[in-house]
Amino acid sequence: MAANKTRVYDALVVGSGASGGWVAKELTEHSLEVLMLEAGPPRIPSRDFTEHAWPYQLKYRGFGDQKQLLVDQPVQRLCYACDEYSHQFFVNDNEHPYTFPSEKPFMWIRGRQVGGKTFCWARESYRYSDYEFRAARRDGYEENWPFTYQELEPYYNRVESFIGVSASYEGLPQMPDGKFLPAMNLSCGEVLARDVIQKKLGWRLMPDRVANLTVPHNGRPACHFCDQCQRGCHTASYFNSPSVTLPAAARTGRFTLLSDAIVSHLLMNREGRAEGVHYIERVSGAHREARAKVVILAAGALESTRILLNSQSHRFPSGVGNSSGVLGHYLMDHFTIEGAGGELASLKSAQREPVGNPCGYLIPKYVNTEGHRNPDFLRGYRFDGGASQQLYEQAFMLPGFGSGWRDRVRREIPYYFSIEAQGECLPRFDNYVELDPEVKDAWGIPVLRIHASYGENERKMAKAMRADIGSVLDELKVKNPTPPSEELSVFGKNIHECGTARMGTDPRKSVLNAHNQLHDARNIFVTDGAAFVTQGCYEPTLTIMAISSRAADYIVDANKKGEL
């Protein structure tokens, strides 16, 4: 269905994921008529969700048709969650190309559907603190965010209270507590690791903070611990926008959702105001327009920036919002040091622990917090992982058959401890995206050419991350230890791309103001990860939702005052 060309909505939201869902919910609940455009199709649980499917029910037993994956999803298949169960949540790379210099590889993982990537995200939900929002004040590098933690705290409260985040209260200034549901339990191995790491290294190990329900919440049942969250969830027991925020918007009667609508650029008038967007119907290829008084881009950091760059005119020759020359620059993505672990020999047992916990453990950032300065690099990193018995993995690798083989499998079930570190990427002007002058996607829209690499600060940080992982494994006295990887993860692999349309108080150094509003056009907002000034070492999604809610409040207030 095409949008009504003659109708002018109060607001038009591009993107239906974590950010777009919150903006739509907040605006419609404050009496604004909202049109949402989503580039992909809706997902049908009975067809697309596979969290309860067994390997024997699948044609390729869960491994997928590797030849076909190489043809259709050569990039997407590199994501741990893109397999035979859940490949439908990821784009076809042939339809959605992008380019990069050969010496600077970039992995762009995308999900185009109603709900975006909220079907298969890792659900890790962390608040930033002033170690992130005021990082420049501490170390002098680049810019601060245009607001403090105290200013964003009410919106963190609002988001957590609505979506449900299970976590423990820890009282750590570098990782603020929130409005939590009961935390998930640590496994026996994680309890052992917690006690050793606290005693020997002075670090806090806690249950991970995840948007999985541990108790019924707002009409949604608690998690049933099938531990297949990346495959969809029939019970909506973890946050995804089609189950949580979009229904809230729909209940107001002021919400219109148009799927399979690929936005190419903004429609700008001579006065420099947005009048709506131009979009292409995904299936038919027909070109359409949709009109609104306010446009909010929430399509994902790089996609929102691509739309702005592609919105060129006599008034905006290099794209809307680019008068400063900053648009597209300061791209960030976390990097990880992975693969480390070993067996906890004291916990081998013939009694297997219950399996299926969708939550591991977290060790928050300590480096470069108060009293923990490392002079070799700026900013910091955190650890996460899990500890559990590996019955099925042991059985898969152990040769033999029959009753004797079954006895060997069950005699001493190994207990494996894994750990990885995730580090902060500094915002650098020379990490940027631009429109490729030649390559276009399947709908004729110019694609992004991405220039991104990690620098000396990240490499020095990685050295410290490896050393700390080694200390953890040494103190736990693991058996058959596996050392951490020597290589940094590929830029983009962590799927936490942020920046490229950052906020700031100085229009010469930023694209957006403190309310996610373009300096260059007061009725255009960008509310996703593109707005980030720094990234911290924590996952960005909860902060994306909080700034989206905050921006929506501003839009409601400014609209009442006639300022948009």
Residue 409 domain-assigned (yes or no): no
**Is 526:514 a contact under the CB 8 Å cutoff?**
no
Other C-beta atoms within 10 Å of 530: how many? Answer: 33
pLDDT at 351: 66
Instruction: Give backbone dihedrals phi and psi of 196, rounded to 5 degrees, phi first.
Output: -70, -45
Does residue 333 carry a pLDDT above 90?
Answer: yes
CA-CA-CA-CA torsion sign (17, 177, 378, 380): negative
Tokens for 376, please give them.
Answer: 């070799």
In a domain, 73, yes or no: yes
Q: How far apart are CA 56 and CA 45, in angstroms?
A: 20
User: Residues 208-220: what's their mean pLDDT?
Assistant: 97
Q: Strand 34-37 to strand 255-258: parallel, antiparallel, or no bridges (unpaired)?
A: parallel
Distance CA 523, CA 295 (A): 6
DSSP E strands, 84-201: none
Is residue 221 in some structural domain?
Answer: no
404 has pLDDT over 90: no
**pLDDT at residue 201 is higher than 90:** yes
Q: How confident is the model at residue 344 (pLDDT cuts 50, 70, 90)?
A: very high
Q: E strand or H helix at 245, and its extent? A: helix 245-250
For residue 483, being part of any structural domain is answered with no
The predicted-structure confidence for 53-104, as pLDDT tens digits, reads as follows: 888 898 888 888 888 889 999 999 999 999 999 999 999 999 999 999 999 9
Percent of the chain with pLDDT over 70: 98
Say if residue 18 is exposed, middle or buried (CB neighbours under 10 Å; 0-12, 13-18, 19+): buried
pLDDT of amino acid 86: 93
pLDDT of 2:
65
User: How many structural domains compose the chain?
Assistant: 1
Q: What beta strand segments (E) does 302-380 contain?
A: 335-343, 361-363
- Rounded percentage of the chain residues whose pLDDT exceeds 90: 86
Longest dimension (CA), the chain: 81
Report pLDDT digits (tens) over 99-121: 999 999 999 999 999 999 999 89
Residue 556 is part of which domain span?
8-124+227-332+429-453+493-560
**CATH code (residue 500):** 3.50.50.60
Amino acid at 251: R
Please give the mean pLDDT across all residues of the chain: 94
| Amino acid 361: pLDDT | 97
Whole-number Å distance between alpha carbons of 332 and 426 = 7
pLDDT band of 410, cuts 50, 70, 90: confident
CB atoms within 10 A of CB 31: 12
- The predicted model gives 472-480 an average pLDDT of 96
Is residue 81 one of the residues assigned to a domain? Answer: yes
In a domain, 97, yes or no: yes
Taking 70 as the threshold, does the pLDDT of residue 350 lie above it? Answer: no
DSSP string, 462-519: HHHHHHHHHHHHHHHT-EEEEPPPSSPPPTTTTS--B-SS-B-S-TTT-SB-TTSBBS
Residue 165 to residue 56: CA distance in whole angstroms: 34
- Measured between alpha carbons, how far is 502 from 295 in angstroms, rounded to an integer? 17
Structure tokens at 160: 């957590």
**Residues, the chain, total?**
564
Q: What is the pTM of this model?
A: 0.96
Q: How far is CA 221 from the centre of its chain?
A: 24
Task: Report the SS3 class of residue 43.
Answer: coil
Q: What's the average model confidence in pLDDT over 205-216?
A: 97
- Residue 221, token pair as written in the block: 């049942």
How far apart, in whole angstroms, are the C-alpha atoms of residue 528 and residue 497?
10
* Residue 397 belongs to some domain of the structure: no
pLDDT of residue 348: 76
- Is there a domain that residue 249 lies in? yes
Residue 3 confidence (pLDDT)? 65
Cα distance between residue 286 and residue 260, in whole Å = 11
- The pairs formed by 197-200 with CB atoms below 8 angstroms and a separation of 24 or more are 197/363, 197/472, 197/475, 197/476, 200/475
- Nearest CA to 426 out of 454, 463, 465 is that of 454
> Number of C-alpha atoms within 13 angstroms, CB side, residue 289?
12
Instruction: Indicate the Cα dihedral angle 211, 212, 213, 217, nearest 10°.
Output: 40
- What is the distance between the alpha carbons of residues 334 and 383, in angstroms, rounded to a whole number? 13
Q: What confidence tier does 354 reach under pLDDT thresholds 50, 70, 90?
A: low
Q: Please write the tens of the pLDDT for every residue from 248-300.
A: 999 999 999 999 999 999 999 999 999 999 999 999 999 999 999 999 999 99
Which of 535, 513, 425, 504 is CA-nearest to residue 143? Answer: 504
Give the model confidence (pLDDT) of 448-469 as tens digits. 999 999 999 999 999 999 999 9
CB 255 within 8 A of CB 249: yes
Beta-carbon contacts of residue 36 (< 8 Å; ≥ 6 apart): 12, 13, 14, 15, 16, 20, 24, 246, 249, 255, 256, 257, 258
Average pLDDT over residues 313-332: 96
